[in-house]
Structure 1
Amino acid sequence: MRTFFRYLSLVLLLTCAMVFAGCGNASPTGEEKEIVLAAGRDLSPGEKDPYYSTVILKTWESLVGISDDGKVMPMLAESWESNAEKTEWIFHLKKGVKFHDGVSFDAHAVCENFYRVTHMGYKPSSFYGYLVSRIYPGLVRYEADDDYTLHLYFERPVPMLIYRMAGWGSAMFSPASFDRETGDFTKIAAGTGPFQIIDRKADDYTLLSRFDGYHGEKAKAKRIRIRVITSAEARYSAMRSGEVQGVLDLGGLTPMMVRELMRTGDFSVDSAHSTISHYLSVNGGRFPFSDERMRRALDLAIDREKIVKYYFAGFGTPTRSFLNSTNPFSRPEPPVYDPAEAKALAREVLGDARCEVKFLLPQYGAERYPYKVISEFLQAELKDLGLDVKIVMVDGLTSRKMMKEGDYDLAIGTRGLGNLDPTSLLREFFHSDGATNLASHFCYANPKIDAAFDALTHTYEIEDRQVLYHEIREELLLHPAVIPLLEDENLAVCSKKITGYHAAVYGITLDKVAWKE
């Protein structure tokens, strides 16, 4: 009997040990549990990228920010002013801010960031390539007036500086995390955002952790893992299975996939006006689109309302304006659909003949957006204009090469806004010597638009500049160079098990995301 009790005591001890061991390895609950989101590309390209990671991960902040609804707002700079000539700008910096590595944010750190960007030359990016002269044209010098005051001096007026700096243009990083000569990061970039990157594997995942030393409201979630899942179908399946709790970034899910998820009742969907616009590039250097009448016919022949309704599931705004209306200097331009006038213009160009046109379908775009069905829709619609569309799917590099060589007629693609100053974007596309105009073989030359850009160089008042931007937009409606289709919507799709997941102009409200209690 004594032996039996000894045996029973041993069994009880072993059982308790197993129970307590199990408690030590129990799955974390509440804020401790990791949230997993999916993106179609690596949102933290790493050391060679000028930003290290995208702004939507909220790991870094800028001097001048962009609000969730797309407006300029103070961020690391609390306020600013300029002289009357707009050649000197003074920024008053926020106090009590630390980078993730413990380095203090102050005017010295900002000057180190300016040293970096003025010495590193052009740096390509997965997001927006960085060249200091694009953001700070004619920058002569930068200096600290005191510990929390930055002074910038320019050789000529820069009236749009604040709009140029907003968001990507004035990103700040700890000087201890980058090489000030090359601009490369020497370790994980240390910003001042509500999240910090604690681990990453290229093209696989980025692991974010809440930065408890954040100067503002702390992030709700303790850890968020951003997985790279390149296939939209795989992201959709991962959402259905519960493998991931949400998707983010451009074209996270096609609108049709979003609609299917909504029908299950297990997912929440929020949308916000996006800075992304979809448009057709047009080769103005060869027949038939070298004739402006055919470009006007193309503009009138496309039923943009139908594209948004059937292929974007209503998530979008049909427009004829190239400049996205999230920009403070633009506005939506309602589409005009007039197939009869389009046919008449096309007949003036082609007569009774038909013309084969080469339509480039970039593979990267087709993976994010319903471009394949849209191109097939356009193929059918343009037959009535006497155009026989040949769709050619190519990779991104080949697409850019063919466009530069003029070996195409039409191509579909997207364009976003790197900052809130429309000048450089519009000039790049529509000035007679604009970089994209030349590189994409638009062959567009409009004397009135060139004159408007010349006038912008010595127009300093914002209201007067608005008039010139309006003149450019009006000329593009009358004499199209490219064919805008629609403005996109940013779709934030998540499991109903999490909360705070809302769409913003850029990304989602990541710092508000948390498990539901």
Structure 2
Amino acid sequence: MKKKFGYLHMALPHGGAIFVVSERLNFMTRLRDTEEKEELMKQNWKKLSGVLLGAVLAAGLLAGCGGTADTSASGSQPSGGSPATSSISAPAGSASSAAVSSSGQETAEVKNETEEIVLGSVRDMIPGEGDAFYVNLSAQVWEPLVINNNHALEPGLAESWEFNDDCTEWTFHLAENAVFTDGVKFDADVCIQNIERYKTGPLTSTYTSLSIDKSFPNLKEIVKVDDYTVKFVFNEPITTLDALLGDYGSPMISPNCFDPQTGEITSQVVGTGRYMIEEHVQDQYAVFVRNDNYWGDNPGKVKRYRVNCIPDSETRYSALVSGEIMGLMDNGAIMVDAAAKLAESDDRFEIEPTKSHMTHYLYVNGSKEYLGDVKLRQAISCAIDRDQLNETLYQGLCYPAYSALSNQTPLYKEIQGTYDLDRAKELADEVLQGQRLQATLIIGQRVVDGYPAKAMAEYMQSALSEIGIDISIELLDNEVTTERLKSGDYDFCINVTGLNSADPYSTLYSWMDSEGSYNVDYHWNYSNTEVDKLLASVLNEKDADKRAEIYGRLQEISAEELPVIPILYYVNVNIHNKEITGYTSELFDGVSIPTLEWAANR
């Protein structure tokens, strides 16, 4: 039975085909609702921008963020090197920019081949050899078998796939003309070598973990059918394999890059993608050059691009204003108010808020006295006024969160919660019996640099004091934060994370199963027999409606028992200089590199 590309699932036996139609309609309804919210979001953005512009003009601070950088139309040159762009064009509407000539387009095409585009990011695009993936997927260096295009599953290095009636055998037909940039041909043997690498895991990463159990649960054997066909045989039915393999679930890299015994990456990663790594200085910058022998469609437009790693938010802002970088990428690269001020006060820049899969969460150490009591976790959730946080920190652009899954997940179930301080006090008193709980809330520097997490922590410090919890806040280096989480040396932690798969199984398993990685490693101490049974059955469930019901039930339980406390669904804010174009936003990776190019003279 052939797989139908596009949405999460296919026509299955026993009435599954009906689900394709009905669930598509449900999905389109959710999408339409999201689009309506986005339109409102844009209106709010314009309103916010106007208010902020008035404040900026009144204060005479055209540079924003209290900086002194020149934001005039002529721009300024960064010291110590050449700028990321040539001199800034005259504003739109002036005589010199009234029309775009063919020579202007030719100039842009020449620049695409001769001048690199420089972007700025919160983190290094290349974590390096200790990382399961080595380089961010959005860099376009390596490619997966299946592409998760905003939850629509599309062919990657696998051109098509099919499965048998009971979903215990999946057959993947591989691209026959894909070549790694070191000359190694991609075929069934190389595909199998990569998947054997997953068996050495779980391999860790700053993005998500990689393991055979996560990508190929209950795998029995791998069969090479021919040079470009691979069959996966499972001990149990699996109905969502293609979703599990999307993006970070099936990275394919040259076998010359990793140790087959340990799975560890041993050299600079070589992929089949649109770009190759040309130069990298750890935690400073990465340069990528176009693969002019790319096997697929739509090779990159710009010959070379650079991503500077700029962890500090003020430094990122200054680099953008000065022309050192042409745009910001990655989640949390700029604060909402700073972006609004800049876009409204300086017409060199444009901005548009877009939906995101990222969510703000409050982690709770359930192994600590009192915090393992579900009533106290419920009290904490009731004491947090998410609407106030949204209005105060994000000007109403985000969404209050009550479900464990991102609201951009196809199987997300909308759950309405409430802010109820009286109920929160009542629940907390049942647990604390009039005592006050002394607690520590930790935040990693990455989260502080990318989001108003410190202000959120201070709000929680005030809100939870109302129910008998006295919080001290600690801002920590990222490595120290991870160590504290794994050692259990914390009470609360504010984090921002997202769902990188079209199927929510791996996320819900790691958070809710008694043996889930987050649950165990971060000492959440959550256990529910019903949850364990539901998670054990969902991947084997062939009926798509029943599978959706299971995921819905898991979200209901999570909202009730709160192994992790959702706070806000985030919205991406991407901003760039108008000297570049094709700076389109993506749900998972922020910015689309293949469409990026220099703009014609404006």
Counterpart of 1:476 in structure 2: which amino acid? S
Q: Which of 494, 508, 524 pairs up with 1:412?
A: 494
C-alpha distance in 2, partners of 1:346/1:185? 48
Deviation at 1:94, TM superposition (A): 2.5
Matching of residue 487 in structure 1 with residue 559 in structure 2: no
Deviation at 1:53, TM superposition (A): 0.7
Aligned to 1:15: none
Aligned to 1:509: 592
SS at match of 1:415: strand
Q: What fraction of aligned residue pairs are identical, expressed as a percent?
A: 33
- Select between 227-236 and 393-402 the one with higher mean Cα deviation: 393-402
Matching of residue 60 in structure 1 with residue 147 in structure 2: no
SS at match of 1:510: coil
Counterpart of 1:197 in structure 2: which amino acid? I
Aligned to 1:195: 275
SS at match of 1:190: coil
C-alpha distance in 1, partners of 2:597/2:152? 26
Deviation string for 1:168-226 (max 9, x for gaps)? 11111233444444434454322222222222222222111122222211211111011
Q: How does 1:388-407 map to 2 (within 5 A)?
A: 388-407=470-489
Equivalent pair of 2:443/2:453 in contact (CA under 8 Å): yes
Q: 1:286 to 1:208 in 2, by over 3 A?
A: closer
C-alpha distance in 2, partners of 1:373/1:362? 14
C-alpha distance in 2, partners of 1:81/1:365? 41
Structure 2 residue runs without a partner (length 5+): 1-85, 88-106
Counterpart of 2:321 in structure 1: which amino acid? R
SS at match of 1:286: coil
Matching of residue 168 in structure 1 with residue 248 in structure 2: yes
Counterpart of 1:79 in structure 2: which amino acid? S
Q: Which of 460, 463, 485 pairs up with 1:378?
A: 460
Aligned to 1:369: 451
Matching of residue 75 in structure 1 with residue 156 in structure 2: yes
Aligned to 1:143: 223
Deviation string for 1:333-368 (max 9, x for gaps)? 344222232233233334544333222223332222
What RMSD over aligned residues (CA atoms) do the two structures have, in Å?
A: 2.4
C-alpha distance in 2, partners of 1:188/1:362? 28
Deviation at 1:503, TM superposition (A): 1.3
- Select between 393-402 and 215-224 the one with higher mean Cα deviation: 393-402
Q: How does 1:137-286 map to 2 (within 5 A)?
A: 137-185=217-265, 187-214=267-294, 215-264=296-345, 265-286=347-368
Larger Rg: 1
Counterpart of 2:316 in structure 1: which amino acid? R
Aligned to 1:339: 421
Deviation at 1:56, TM superposition (A): 0.9
Q: 1:431 to 1:178 in 2, by over 3 A?
A: closer
Aligned to 1:465: 547
Q: 1:450 to 1:104 in 2, by over 3 A?
A: closer
Deviation at 1:101, TM superposition (A): 2.9
Deviation string for 1:265-301 (max 9, x for gaps)? 3212233322222111123333443332221121112
TM-score scaled by length of structure 1:
0.88
Q: 1:102 to 1:313 in 2, by over 3 A?
A: farther
SS at match of 2:456: helix
Equivalent pair of 1:196/1:210 in contact (CA under 8 Å): yes
Counterpart of 2:507 in structure 1: which amino acid? L
C-alpha distance in 2, partners of 1:107/1:442? 41
Q: Which of 101, 109, 118 pairs up with 1:36?
A: 118
SS at match of 1:122: coil
Q: 1:477 to 1:177 in 2, by over 3 A?
A: closer
SS at match of 1:411: strand
Counterpart of 1:101 in structure 2: which amino acid? D
C-alpha distance in 2, partners of 1:124/1:439? 13
C-alpha distance in 2, partners of 1:465/1:410? 32
Q: Which of 517, 520, 536 pairs up with 1:438?
A: 520
Aligned to 1:101: 182
SS at match of 2:441: strand
Deviation at 1:430, TM superposition (A): 1.6
Counterpart of 2:362 in structure 1: which amino acid? L
Deviation string for 1:416-444 (max 9, x for gaps)? 22423322321221223333223322222
Deviation at 1:239, TM superposition (A): 0.2
Deviation at 1:415, TM superposition (A): 2.5
Q: How does 1:299-378 map to 2 (within 5 A)?
A: 299-378=381-460
Q: 1:142 to 1:268 in 2, by over 3 A?
A: same
Number of aligned residues: 490
Aligned to 1:429: 511
C-alpha distance in 2, partners of 1:484/1:155? 35
Deviation at 1:511, TM superposition (A): 0.7
Deviation at 1:311, TM superposition (A): 1.4
C-alpha distance in 1, partners of 2:488/2:253? 41
Q: 1:432 to 1:116 in 2, by over 3 A?
A: closer
Deviation at 1:59, TM superposition (A): 1.4
Equivalent pair of 1:304/1:335 in contact (CA under 8 Å): no
Counterpart of 1:150 in structure 2: which amino acid? V
Equivalent pair of 2:240/2:539 in contact (CA under 8 Å): no
SS at match of 2:221: strand
Matching of residue 131 in structure 1 with residue 211 in structure 2: yes
Counterpart of 2:247 in structure 1: which amino acid? G
Counterpart of 2:132 in structure 1: which amino acid? P
SS at match of 1:385: coil
Counterpart of 2:166 in structure 1: which amino acid? E
SS at match of 2:585: coil
Q: Which of 150, 153, 171 pairs up with 1:90?
A: 171
Q: 1:41 to 1:80 in 2, by over 3 A?
A: same
Equivalent pair of 1:324/1:331 in contact (CA under 8 Å): no
Q: 1:515 to 1:410 in 2, by over 3 A?
A: same
C-alpha distance in 1, partners of 2:483/2:187? 44
Q: 1:383 to 1:111 in 2, by over 3 A?
A: closer
